[in-house]
Structure 1
């Protein structure tokens, strides 16, 4: 029986090559893209689930009361881990996790910046990273023992066994010998925590003063705990305030400083751009991509359904004959679903090949390491897609055709219109609606990203190179910053005398990457005033092309203007100053200082955020003396900003590298472009825009094939009518217009619904930007006219060919 079903299905599919081909191409395109997206969504939702007992692992979240309510952060005091272990018996293991870097000798003559995590000995007891060599209980016990990944081992030792070998790294003022005590398998791609090397947290003595290690008001890195039972979370959070009362003593204020626990499963997917030290993805991105995949598949399925309905007159006689010969309703349904299943399986196989071809482009677009593996979860996704598409595309035609009455069919009373013309039109209109929705959304996104790229940020970013200066670690934060600036000044002085260099400045923070520090101080009235902070040196203002609104620039000479600061216009407005030059910051504790100038507002942060009050200072002692809040965003080491002439970057880079080799002969030269740093902030939305554009193009292609097929079916079903009209004197133009008018209504419905809805949906997306702009109405008009012209072109080509047929042939009886 099954053999007969398959044989008949293959014959029917082969008989209608055009319609089978259109269905196959549409489903292949839809499945190829959808497989990538659904596998990507599954990959993103699988983050951190490889850890054993992952439900018992939590990240500690800090909450502090600020002027505008509670401030939440993932950085915690160093003392948090041992305090949680001592105060809560439900906590079985704890670890600090502090990201750091140091200069390390790659060989006898070359150093490089080595990133590492400073962790507690319990780290590998909490997280299930696979240890290839070494004992889990022992590898992180020694202060001068390190655990490295396979990739890091190859970097230092090639193919040799790394165990017991040494790596020299600068800790504090000296280089120390660290011995490899453990080798980890390279970390899974779906791990939120990524690192190259683990170092015992006893090494914090080299970089953090003892009083800061014991302070509850200095935060460094993250803290993780493992509980004996996931349900113990509620009790620990309820006891957090009591714990703080105990440890803070007289400094305790009820409800002003406490901790909660975040399950490790919730770390990766978050809308919060500040996700701490872990890699994160916005859940809204996954929802949008999944929606795009569903819409593309839906358009392909609509093609299948509309063409099956369009071919009903042909298949209806087949149904009538088979019912007369004894076939029942269930057998006919199974026959039609078998045809849909065969096309779906063929499209799935071709879609998998297409997905493999598109995978490198997809990974490059989203900066991921997605691999198309076919485990149980992925097989289940593919099985679900096959069943879902078969049901969605084949169910209605199967049940409708199988329900036809054989007497009516065999008498020839069934017309192609048979009451289902409205459904066909509605489905085609829905295809146009989706296509216009996607392409209008693409138009809005492209225009917004062009607005971002062309926006005047208030500073110059062209031909400016950021050169990273070697780290100078130390237990005193102020001394470490000053030592880093002294290093940077040596390199800056080597460049400023060269004719190829316009100017050079020094900065801690860059732009558009949220690297300006957060600071705050209490005013004389007792209110909290928060601002953004950057420490600068050299010709910083000149190099960036910042404009002075009032006063003067900072003196570029080292040691001068140590008590001088600059503020931006927003800072002056917040303070109510018309002319801030000569004014003092309204703090009760800040050391002797003077505001010497006001720079015009510039976008120190990305264009997602409004401009905030900013302080630019040369000396950290002045600012640190009077603030009661400081939050550092990654950047702690100075960079030299160098602005060159012309566009010959190769020779400019050679200059930078040669001077680097003279000033820092054993250090590795590394640099970045300021304009690229600025644009990195918008990469996620640019990627999303490209994905929507790709989806729009695929949707338009599938809808166009559907329109072509539907026009052909509609015209084929009315050839006798066309012949009669021609005999009665109708012109080819009038006949063509008859068909065009029918499909133009469908197009206009798609435009009328799709364009307004795209504006509605994109309103929410645009609201995330502080600077935003809508495309001109002319662009949407062009889009609508383009859709109308496209429809006219497709229908006219089909109808013209039909009008050229000899009416004598079309009017002959079968």
Structure 2
């Protein structure tokens, strides 16, 4: 780009201000949308990749073989991590990590709610979570050690430097010693927690014998391979690790890179079937569509105004200007406009980024990495060259003699090409609108679908403190509160497979067949509280004496068991408990609607129910919640009444889809806006060229 080309370009911009500003607005809007999408895509691609051991950090996953399908899960035996580390030399570190739990932390009179995991002692040696206080190899060695986040330590003790060595009471029960403090976690970590506890202590507790069994799953297992170890070879080596220790096991182990699980976390029948990577691809395509639409605007307006610059081209060619010089000049103009549009786009990104973060539930900033900066420069150059390529080639192709004689006219082919580009623009926009409509209809279907139970006016909260020992007294009193229609307890919430087993047998079952059932432990009145519908038989009731030897199944379970007349038949659980079928409930969705309804059974087991569900009277929600909170806090002092609505929890399953729908809606709208802007520019130019004709027609009436 020389100074002469730059001077000519700036002079041309001043001469055709309207065309310049229409091009600037269209390109800057398109670039702003593209840059926002690129920031989001980059954030998704960088999730969990900040760990120093990223290339050696792996999830140990399970393929579980059942009669009709293979289930893939990160749930593993509690003994797996330490055994792998001891027996597989290619594994340098290994740690068990439990599920995320809520805890009440108390220091003096202060009580706060915090969330965290139990983890093995190698945890901070494996993950790059910065320890501000304490050493990675020491902070989780003691049974009653607790490691706090900086913000949690500051809340409890005023400063993270004063926290180490201090005592914290957990759930008003056991006292733990603060052994370390870690920096607050970055937004690009899939793990988000306030505290870490010692897993070995949890495993050794009398009530957690299942964590010491090769036949039970629950926590996840992470490993760091030794330098130079081949992940595929290690996967093959550990494949039968569980089967070799439990002859009844149906488990095959394999490794998946930890940072890949976020984007590639969905398996179907034992095969990788996608995950969030699908959204990354979708928005990458949307970004390309929007950028192409903006570039087509520039092409159309530039070629439409070609006749106004024809004499300029003719004179330059007549005095000896080569075609290459003309192409460079027009590409210079397009690149300058693209650069100006890029600066405006950066300003728009700065303005709209907070709103964008709110929609995407992210913490994206404009702290651009070198790689991201190169990506932005590439987008700028591609935009300038793509937008200017056709106009440059078109203008430079004019013959000087024809131009100077005034014989240049738009051919029919050129007109159709321009119209074709406009049609292509709107076709891309319509494709985006159709895609958005499909996503919105899916979301609407999810929100209005009858799940088979009543999720409205239903709240749940965890069992803790006095409720663990005095559940019946709490439920009996709570049921009398104004606004409470019913209340009971359950082993876990109604979202997802959280406690499943293949240990159910019945007469006529193939002994070689493994069928997975969701095992839902409940208290009396639970089925009435959640509102499932009985197909046949009865529900659990104290009127018939103790129902602890009874079982209720769903339709999917009866179908897979092949029972024609199930009521009264006997089944056996874990080759230990004989249970009588007393009822069958109609199928209800307890997983995502992406999944079919799987076999499920209910058993009465109040001692192992860890969640309370309350049905509120319609129209009295606020009153009922206030009454229940007041009673809860008086019955269970020191514990916060932390509840959730079941319908909100259900909606969170589809939060990713809802965010995709919202983003798609905005970007489709911008695509239409850019297309209309281009059409407006063409219409304005056409009207400008026909001013004399319009004037004559008006004069003639």
Shared fold by TM > 0.5?
yes
Deviations 1:642-663 (A, max 9, x none): 2223434333222111111121
CA distance in 2, matches of 1:43, 1:318: 47
Residue number among 409, 421, 428 corresponding to 1:427 in the alignment: 421
- Cα contact 1:495–1:501 (8 A) shared by 2: yes
Residue number among 589, 596, 615 corresponding to 2:601 in the alignment: 615
| Residues 803, 95 of structure 1: alpha-carbon distance in 2 compared, 3 angstrom cutoff | farther
Pairwise CA distance, 1:371: 1.9
Counterpart of 1:493 in structure 2 is: 476
Counterpart of 1:681 in structure 2 is: 653
Does 1:225 pair with 2:223?
Answer: yes
Pairwise CA distance, 1:428: 0.6
CA distance in 1, matches of 2:209, 2:230: 32
Pairwise CA distance, 1:230: 4.2
* Mapping for residues 265-344 of structure 1, pairs under 5 Å: 265-272=259-266, 282-344=276-338
* Mapping for residues 143-162 of structure 1, pairs under 5 Å: 143-159=143-159, 161-162=161-162
Secondary structure of the residue aligned to 1:593 is strand
Residue number among 558, 570, 586 corresponding to 1:600 in the alignment: 586
Deviations 1:179-213 (A, max 9, x none): 22222222222223332222233312454668544
Does 1:698 pair with 2:698?
Answer: no
Counterpart of 1:184 in structure 2 is: 182
Does 1:449 pair with 2:443?
Answer: yes
- Cα contact 1:458–1:546 (8 A) shared by 2: yes
Deviations 1:80-130 (A, max 9, x none): 222222222222222222235464433324545543222233222222222
Secondary structure of the residue aligned to 1:181 is strand
Decide which moves more: 260-269 or 582-591: 582-591
Deviations 1:498-546 (A, max 9, x none): 2322222222333344556455424443133322221222422222232
* Mapping for residues 537-616 of structure 1, pairs under 5 Å: 537-555=523-541, 560-585=546-571, 589-616=575-602
- Cα contact 2:497–2:518 (8 A) shared by 1: no
| Residues 547, 214 of structure 1: alpha-carbon distance in 2 compared, 3 angstrom cutoff | closer
Secondary structure of the residue aligned to 2:557 is helix
| Residues 198, 545 of structure 1: alpha-carbon distance in 2 compared, 3 angstrom cutoff | closer
| Residues 644, 225 of structure 1: alpha-carbon distance in 2 compared, 3 angstrom cutoff | closer
Counterpart of 1:780 in structure 2 is: none
- Cα contact 2:149–2:181 (8 A) shared by 1: yes
- Cα contact 1:271–1:284 (8 A) shared by 2: no
Does 1:655 pair with 2:655?
Answer: no
Counterpart of 1:440 in structure 2 is: 434
CA distance in 2, matches of 1:601, 1:495: 29
Does 1:504 pair with 2:525?
Answer: no
CA distance in 2, matches of 1:557, 1:698: 64
Counterpart of 2:517 in structure 1 is: 531
CA distance in 2, matches of 1:54, 1:313: 58
CA distance in 1, matches of 2:378, 2:116: 43
Counterpart of 1:642 in structure 2 is: 614
| Residues 413, 271 of structure 1: alpha-carbon distance in 2 compared, 3 angstrom cutoff | farther
Deviations 1:366-414 (A, max 9, x none): 2222222122122112101100100110111112212322111111111
Pairwise CA distance, 1:272: 0.8
Counterpart of 2:357 in structure 1 is: 363
CA distance in 1, matches of 2:294, 2:332: 18
CA distance in 2, matches of 1:589, 1:242: 24
Counterpart of 2:198 in structure 1 is: 200
Deviations 1:652-701 (A, max 9, x none): 22211111112101211111111111222222222212222212211111
- Cα contact 1:87–1:243 (8 A) shared by 2: no
Deviations 1:782-805 (A, max 9, x none): xxxxxxxxxxxxxxxxxxx78855
- Cα contact 1:521–1:528 (8 A) shared by 2: no
Counterpart of 1:117 in structure 2 is: 117
CA distance in 1, matches of 2:85, 2:611: 39
| Residues 144, 211 of structure 1: alpha-carbon distance in 2 compared, 3 angstrom cutoff | closer
- Cα contact 1:117–1:199 (8 A) shared by 2: yes
CA distance in 2, matches of 1:487, 1:282: 43
Secondary structure of the residue aligned to 1:493 is helix
| Residues 311, 488 of structure 1: alpha-carbon distance in 2 compared, 3 angstrom cutoff | farther
Counterpart of 1:92 in structure 2 is: 92
Deviations 1:341-380 (A, max 9, x none): 2221121122122222222222222222222212212211
| Residues 649, 252 of structure 1: alpha-carbon distance in 2 compared, 3 angstrom cutoff | closer
Secondary structure of the residue aligned to 1:60 is strand
- Cα contact 1:27–1:300 (8 A) shared by 2: yes
Decide which moves more: 79-88 or 690-699: 79-88
* Mapping for residues 698-777 of structure 1, pairs under 5 Å: 698-717=670-689, 723=693
Counterpart of 1:105 in structure 2 is: 105
CA distance in 2, matches of 1:112, 1:211: 30
Give the gaps of 5 or more residues in structure 2.
269-273
CA distance in 2, matches of 1:195, 1:804: 75
Secondary structure of the residue aligned to 1:218 is coil
CA distance in 2, matches of 1:88, 1:440: 53
- Cα contact 2:104–2:639 (8 A) shared by 1: no
CA distance in 1, matches of 2:54, 2:595: 35
CA distance in 1, matches of 2:541, 2:567: 15
- Cα contact 1:102–1:170 (8 A) shared by 2: no
Pairwise CA distance, 1:22: 1.8
TM-score by length of 2: 0.91
- Cα contact 1:55–1:230 (8 A) shared by 2: no
Secondary structure of the residue aligned to 1:161 is helix
Count of residue pairs the alignment pairs up: 693
Deviations 1:709-735 (A, max 9, x none): 223334555667xx4xxxxxxxxxxxx
Decide which moves more: 516-525 or 351-360: 516-525
Counterpart of 1:476 in structure 2 is: none
- Cα contact 1:244–1:252 (8 A) shared by 2: no
Pairwise CA distance, 1:69: 5.3
* Mapping for residues 5-154 of structure 1, pairs under 5 Å: 5-68=5-68, 70-99=70-99, 101=101, 103-154=103-154
CA distance in 1, matches of 2:545, 2:147: 42
Pairwise CA distance, 1:418: 6.7
CA distance in 1, matches of 2:695, 2:185: 63
CA distance in 1, matches of 2:497, 2:242: 30
CA distance in 1, matches of 2:685, 2:347: 31
Secondary structure of the residue aligned to 1:529 is coil
| Residues 588, 135 of structure 1: alpha-carbon distance in 2 compared, 3 angstrom cutoff | closer
Pairwise CA distance, 1:265: 3.2
Decide which moves more: 13-22 or 174-183: 174-183
| Residues 447, 242 of structure 1: alpha-carbon distance in 2 compared, 3 angstrom cutoff | closer
Counterpart of 2:341 in structure 1 is: 347
CA distance in 1, matches of 2:339, 2:601: 63
TM-score by length of 1: 0.79
